[in-house]
């Protein structure tokens, strides 16, 4: 077993690197291949083409290789580093000498731009090169620390995968700059700590180098933050230990709490761990969409409804009130959903509690995969639960199809995946998450091997006592109930195996070589401890009846509506699957409706659809705000539901996860 780190002294579980865990087949194996063959090259083609993106050009200008001005948002450096992290992950799973050489050249370019003090922010460096006034950390929304954080993370991964210190040296220098700020300019650091990727990054650097100055720096970040009187926009209104609910910008919140969980794994701060568990439950129990989407509101006022009106401020892409979960205007930025995976996987490592793996799976199969097209080359910035025609107001778009903005399409076409977004933070984040998704398949701890996610893994671990267990998963999960693991190698005294029984499941059964094994409760891990032999067959069956789910009574927009889920996959209705003459708002489900799973294709890609007989409600007057209920008999029509992650792949159209319920 080779874990990604040798530290995490206070974590119960340690993740596995690509030498111990792969998505070798099945559902996630296909996603891995698509990420390698389509997504990572496609994003590079955008970032390296000056007609589309200034991602690469900004570094070339900053290095003096070209002349010009900085273009794009101030966080574009970070977007470039995230793509680099994805490409490095591809090197780890699928070695490619040509790609390795390109990455080393890029690393050298980045290092050549960095100032001697470790600062690297191409907008400022380009302005200085052009003899313009440029002051570091002048505007907190220039995202300098966010960019430096992603630089450090990419530098650590480059070193771990290739052994090259080119980018690791740049990462050390960047951390040195942050350390100088924490020591000598704490106010500037606290004010500029927007979207704190650097919290996770310096722990990555500590784990890679064993240098405790980076662990101390992580602790300094909290002290600096707690001494700063900020607001909900960056979760610095209150000291972190005093926070009881999650408020404000969802991406920044999830990144902050993920970074704090990383720190806890190293210093064992139980008080802070309890804070994070409370905050995590606030999100999952009251503010999380059924799809795993996080950050419901385009703009939220927080604390909303507070008697202290002078404290209310506007917050973009915000966690709102508990149960405030609109459908059509749901924001759910792709980066926020990824941030929840980052936070949850760190809590899983700390505790070994399967509830965190349940949420990782919920996000992964739904809002994560909805953010990228089935082809792997177009992206969503927001992930709504409903799209309707002729919306009378435009929803903000983060991007366009070229470096120079073009007029937006009609509002009804607002949410279409696009190959490039002028706000390009999400696509490379999606790419790095999927490129490293093998790290979420399983973990190891003192009690053995824990399998978190299913969908085609190959696992091979060796413990400190010389015990070895290698497994090959054969399954059609999430479409099929049966998950089979074959022991491909075993040695020593054996390694206990823990299989996650998903929280959504009921009636799971388990056998080893045909002999029944007792299964623990849903939302736990079932332990199998035996002397493994090559050829042993472990079969886990997770029944997948179609479930029709309601929402909490305080989730107003889902009142008298239901959503459909089979296994971990949430379903939706698209207008492309409606009979002629039936529009989205007419489709309802009858209580007790039967659903028939059927293999089908969406845009040429295999999925499992659900067929049912839907109720067709009377049409409504388009012009009237209010009107009489039509005196007409209800009719029925056959309707097909498709996985939510597959929506929007057949051109513009309407979609809804939640549907009215007819009793």
Same domain, 25 and 165: yes
Domain edge (last residue) among 370, 398, 420:
370
Residues 566-581: pLDDT tens digits? Answer: 999 999 999 999 999 9
Same domain, 494 and 568: no
Same domain, 517 and 556: no
Q: Which two tokens stand for residue 547?
A: 């479930």
Inside any domain, residue 241: yes
Residue with tokens 């990419």: 154
Same domain, 181 and 240: no
Residue 629: predicted pLDDT: 85
Q: How many domains does the chain have?
A: 4
Residue with tokens 């059964």: 509
Spatial CB neighbours of 15, under 8 Å, sequence gap ≥ 6: 3, 4, 345, 349, 439, 440, 443
| 480 vs 192: CA distance, rounded Å | 48
- Under 8 Å between Cβ of 325 and 296: yes
Q: Which helix (H) or strand (E) holds 61?
A: helix 55-62
Inside any domain, residue 183: yes
Residue 422: predicted pLDDT: 85
Query: Which among 324, 304, 317, 245 has a CA at the least distance from the CA of 280?
Result: 245
Domain edge (last residue) among 370, 394, 427:
370
Same domain, 537 and 643: no
The segments of the chain whose pLDDT lies below 70 read 1-6, 301-313, 396-414
Same domain, 535 and 578: no
Domain edge (last residue) among 541, 563, 592:
541
Domain residues for the domain of 51 are 17-228
Inside any domain, residue 187: yes
Check: pTM over 0.75? Answer yes or no.
yes
Residue 309: predicted pLDDT: 61
Same domain, 448 and 533: yes
Residue 98 has phi, psi (to 5 degrees) of: -65, -45
Query: Which among 254, 159, 253, 261 has a CA at the least distance from the CA of 203?
Result: 261
Inside any domain, residue 483: yes
Residue 391: predicted pLDDT: 86
Query: Which among 113, 43, 52, 150 has a CA at the least distance from the CA of 403?
Result: 52
Residue 310: predicted pLDDT: 67
Same domain, 572 and 515: no
Chain CA centroid to CA 373, Å = 15
Inside any domain, residue 414: no
| 613 vs 591: CA distance, rounded Å | 11
| 178 vs 87: CA distance, rounded Å | 26
Task: Describe the crossing of helices 426-435 and 76-93 by its angle, rounded to 10 degrees.
Answer: 20
| 483 SS3 class | strand
Residue 396: predicted pLDDT: 66
Same domain, 361 and 261: yes
Inside any domain, residue 388: no
Residue 410: predicted pLDDT: 42
| 403 vs 345: CA distance, rounded Å | 35
Residues 350-382: pLDDT tens digits? Answer: 999 999 999 999 999 999 999 999 999 999 999
| 572 SS3 class | strand
Spatial CB neighbours of 202, under 8 Å, sequence gap ≥ 6: 149, 152, 175, 178, 214, 215, 217, 218, 221
Beta bridge partners of 174: none
- Under 8 Å between Cβ of 170 and 148: no
Same domain, 236 and 223: no
Inside any domain, residue 418: no
């Amino acid at each position: 077993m080779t874990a990604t780190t040798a530290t995490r002294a206070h974590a119960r579980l340690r993740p596995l690197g690509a030498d111990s865990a792969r998505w070798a087949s099945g559902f996630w194996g296909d996603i891995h291949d698509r990420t390698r063959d389509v997504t990572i090259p496609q994003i590079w083609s955008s970032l390296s083409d000056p007609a589309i993106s200034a991602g690469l050009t900004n570094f070339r200008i900053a290095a003096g290789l070209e002349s010009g001005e900085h273009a794009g948002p101030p966080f574009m450096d970070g977007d470039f580093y995230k793509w680099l992290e994805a490409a490095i992950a591809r090197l780890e799973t699928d070695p490619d000498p040509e790609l390795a050489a390109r990455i080393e050249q890029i690393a050298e370019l980045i290092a050549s731009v960095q100032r001697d003090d470790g600062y690297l922010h191409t907008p400022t460096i380009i302005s200085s090169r052009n003899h313009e006034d440029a002051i570091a950390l002048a505007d907190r929304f220039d995202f300098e620390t966010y960019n430096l954080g992603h630089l450090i993370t990419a530098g650590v991964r480059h070193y771990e995968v290739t052994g090259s210190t080119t980018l690791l040296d740049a990462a050390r220098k960047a951390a040195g700059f942050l350390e100088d700020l924490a020591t000598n300019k704490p106010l500037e650091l606290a004010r500029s700590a927007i979207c704190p990727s650097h919290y996770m990054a310096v722990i990555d650097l500590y784990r890679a180098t064993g240098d405790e100055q980076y662990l101390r720096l992580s602790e300094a970040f909290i002290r600096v933050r707690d001494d700063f009187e900020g607001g909900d926009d960056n979760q610095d209104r209150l000291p972190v230990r005093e926070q009881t609910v999650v408020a404000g910008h969802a991406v920044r919140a999830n990144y902050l709490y993920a970074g704090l969980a990383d720190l806890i794994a190293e210093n064992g701060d139980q008080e802070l761990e309890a804070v994070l568990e409370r905050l995590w439950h606030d999100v999952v129990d009251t503010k999380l969409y059924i799809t795993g989407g996080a950050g419901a509101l385009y703009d939220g006022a927080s604390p909303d409804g507070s008697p202290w009106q002078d404290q209310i401020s506007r917050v973009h892409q915000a966690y709102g009130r508990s149960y405030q979960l609109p459908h059509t205007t749901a924001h759910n930025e792709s980066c926020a959903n990824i941030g929840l995976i980052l936070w949850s996987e760190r809590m899983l490592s700390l505790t070994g509690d399967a509830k965190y793996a349940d949420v990782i799976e919920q996000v992964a199969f739904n809002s994560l995969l909805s953010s990228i097209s089935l082809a792997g080359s177009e992206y969503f910035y927001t992930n709504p639960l409903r799209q309707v025609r002729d919306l009378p107001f435009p929803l903000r778009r983060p991007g366009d199809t070229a470096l120079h903005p073009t007029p937006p399409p009609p509002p009804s076409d607002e949410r279409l995946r696009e190959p490039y977004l002028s706000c390009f933070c999400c696509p490379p984040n999606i790419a790095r998450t999927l490129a490293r998704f093998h790290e979420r398949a399983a973990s190891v701890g003192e009690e053995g091997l824990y399998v978190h996610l299913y969908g085609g893994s190959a696992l091979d671990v060796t413990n400190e006592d010389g015990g070895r267990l290698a497994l090959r998963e054969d399954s059609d999960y999430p479409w099929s109930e049966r998950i089979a693991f074959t022991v491909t190698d075993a040695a020593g005294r054996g390694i206990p195996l823990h299989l996650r029984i998903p929280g959504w499941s009921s009636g799971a059964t388990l056998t080893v070589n045909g002999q029944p094994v007792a299964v623990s409760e849903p939302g736990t891990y079932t332990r199998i401890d035996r002397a493994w032999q090559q050829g042993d067959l472990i079969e886990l069956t997770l029944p997948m009846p179609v479930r029709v789910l309601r929402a909490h009574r305080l989730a107003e927009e889902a009142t008298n509506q239901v959503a459909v889920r089979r296994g971990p996959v949430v379903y939706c209705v698209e207008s492309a699957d409606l009979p002629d003459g039936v529009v989205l708002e007419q489709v309802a489900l009858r209580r007790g409706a039967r659903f028939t799973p059927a293999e089908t294709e969406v845009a040429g890609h295999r999925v499992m659809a659900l067929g049912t007989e839907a109720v067709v409600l009377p049409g409504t007057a388009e012009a009237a705000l209010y009107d009489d209920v039509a005196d007409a008999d209800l009719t029925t029509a056959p309707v097909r539901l498709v996985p939510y992650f597959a929506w929007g792949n057949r051109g513009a159209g309407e979609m809804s996860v939640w549907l009215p319920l007819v009793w």
